Amino acid sequence: MKVKDIMTKEVVTIKEDDTVKDAARILNDMNLSGLPVVDEDNKIKGIITDGDLLRRVSTINGPSYVQLLGGGFPLESKKDFLERLNKSIGYLVKEMMTKDVIIISENAGIEEAATLMVSKKIKRIPVADDKKKLIGIISRKDIMKHLFDSY
């Protein structure tokens, strides 16, 4: 069986100049874990995932505190911390996306897609034509659904 037989054809995407906040909102609202990043011609430019967003947030340190007389006192104002956090989520998608995207042809076999996912430790692969235009996406969930619907 081919990737085109089980891939998701209606793919939610995002543009490079959208904000990380936009990406986070789409991922959350649509219960997705990744979004292909495409240009105006639907050519794949990258991918942004919930893992990319978590890595960004995990690098933002919370306000530092000093212990004095049994109490903790912040060395930075809450306002300054929130400004740093908001600046981080205001970044553009192109600044945080994975640019070296693994793509697969719609005519590849499902086994090839599964092997790529396992060997590269990824959850989804954009499906593209020979000009790198997005035509679908295949995920672990698509493959699992196919395998278990077959029994």
User: Which pLDDT tens digit goes with each residue over 87-132?
Assistant: 566 688 998 899 999 999 999 999 999 999 999 999 999 999 999 9
pLDDT at 89: 60
Which stretches does DSSP call E strand in 17-80?
34-38, 44-49, 65-68, 71-74
CATH of the domain at 65: 3.10.580.10
Lowest mean pLDDT among 14-18, 104-108, 145-149: 145-149
**Percentage above 90 pLDDT, the chain:** 62
Mean of the pLDDT values across residues 43-60? Answer: 80
CB proximity list for 21: less than 8 A, separation 6 or greater: 89, 90
User: Which pLDDT tens digit goes with each residue over 21-38?
Assistant: 899 899 999 999 999 999
User: Residue 58 is part of which domain span?
Assistant: 3-149
**How many domains does the chain divide into?**
1
